[in-house]
Amino acid sequence: MRDENDNSGVFIRIREEPTEPWMPVNKGFEVQIDNNDDEFHRTGVLYSFTKAMASPGKPGPMWNTMYITLDGPRTVVVVNSAKVTDFTQTADFTPPPGKHDWEPAVGARPNAGWIGLQNHSDRDVVEFKEVAPRELK
């Protein structure tokens, strides 16, 4: 993050190639990048779906390291060596109620799909380096 609390994310499990900006939000998960105090919207959570297990995110302009592991229906997110999310999607999972009209649509996400980096706004500057997908062994 360029500034202390810029906002972005990594989109995962997007069902099909996005054709409009809200498709990744509503058809996939967003791994949040934001130093928000809300435990459902801070760095490393699945935005609006999971509660942070830890809050290891560093404010900008310091670099953070994030590992996202997708293994079938399970998603694990580690930020700066601390596990923030360990979520397995089940048929009966219901996310917490949304607080805002921009919260993602409820519904199952696929076990495989497209990924993407979020361009949140012109005011939020977040840089990415060494983005490298790898197959699980």
Q: Is residue 24 part of a domain?
A: yes
Number of domains in the chain: 1
Is residue 29 helix, strand or coil?
strand
- For residue 16 the two structure tokens come to 């099909």
Q: Is residue 125 part of a domain?
A: no
Q: Is residue 92 part of a domain?
A: yes
Q: Is residue 80 part of a domain?
A: yes
Q: Which amino acid is at 124?
A: D
With a cut of 90, say whether residue 95 has pLDDT above it. no
Q: What is the pLDDT of residues 21-72, one digit of tens each?
A: 889 999 999 999 998 778 999 999 999 999 999 999 998 889 999 999 999 9
pLDDT of residue 118: 87
Q: Which domain holds residue 86?
A: 8-117
> What's the CA gap between 65 and 46, in Å, rounded?
16
Q: Is residue 3 part of a domain?
A: no
pLDDT of residue 36: 79
Higher pLDDT, 42 or 3: 42
Instruction: Give the global pTM.
Output: 0.92
pLDDT of residue 35: 85
Closest CA to 12 of 73, 98, 82: 73
DSSP 83-118: EEEEEE--TT--PPPPSSTTSPPPS---SS-EEEE-
Q: Hey, how many other C-beta atoms are within 10 angstroms of the C-beta on 69?
A: 13
Q: What is the CATH number of the domain that holds 15?
A: 2.60.120.560
pLDDT of residue 94: 79
Percent of the chain's residues with pLDDT above 90: 62
pLDDT of residue 56: 95
Q: What's the maximum distance between 2 C-alpha atoms anywhere in the chain?
A: 40
8 A C-beta contact, residue 118 and residue 30? yes
Higher pLDDT, 120 or 52: 52
